[in-house]
Amino acid sequence: MNIINYISNLAMPIIIAVIVIWGIVEKKPIFDLFLDGAKEGLEVTLKIFPTLIGIFFAIGLLRSSGVIDFCTNLIMPITTIFKIPSEIMPLALIRPISGSASIGVATDIMRRFGVDTYIGRVASVIMGSTETTLYTIAVYTSCVRIKKNRGVLAASLTADAIGILSAVIICRILS
């Protein structure tokens, strides 16, 4: 196990050294290329900043208004049919919207139910098998200015739903 830690600690310095050595061998202006890349990254950040502010504002509204609890209670009959634990529904609803909010919800689930319980395992698998769909779509489509993203949204939310159902089924089988 110590060798794995040693290798992982050396990975980034080795990659940086290889890039610098490659640049010297190829006689490229390494620092100028680095500055160009940093400038380009800043431009992308400035392009997506308004979208990020809107998403964070909407997430704050959802969390403080009680909409998540309302939606959980609304879909309770469907989740009961599929035997999806109601304790994970706040995570299943918030995960496609926000990564940081879903981490907070998952942490709360782990604290309340434990990490090695059925609910804790389902929450962990959901965190690993789903994506912050709306955030990702908003950032990527606003960056490249794509306007028609309905198909992407439907496909992505379907994949999230399948990930959540798969997490429940697999954790039930393995418990």
| pLDDT value of position 1 | 62
The CB-based long-range contact list for 17-20 (8 Å cut-off, 24+ gap) reads none
Successive 10-residue mean pLDDT values, the chain, 175 residues: 82 91 92 92 84 75 82 88 88 86 86 92 93 80 73 86 91 89
Query: Is 37 domain-assigned?
Result: no
Which helix or strand (DSSP H or E) is residue 140 part of? Answer: helix 133-143
| pLDDT value of position 155 | 86
Query: Is 22 domain-assigned?
Result: no
pTM: 0.65
> In 10 A of CB 5, how many CB atoms?
9
**Contact in structure between 127 and 95 (CB atoms under 8 Å):** yes
| pLDDT value of position 46 | 86
| pLDDT value of position 100 | 77
Query: Is 52 domain-assigned?
Result: yes
| pLDDT value of position 49 | 81
Total structural domains within the chain: 1
Query: Is 3 domain-assigned?
Result: no
- Where in the sequence is the domain holding 70, given as residue range(s)? 45-174
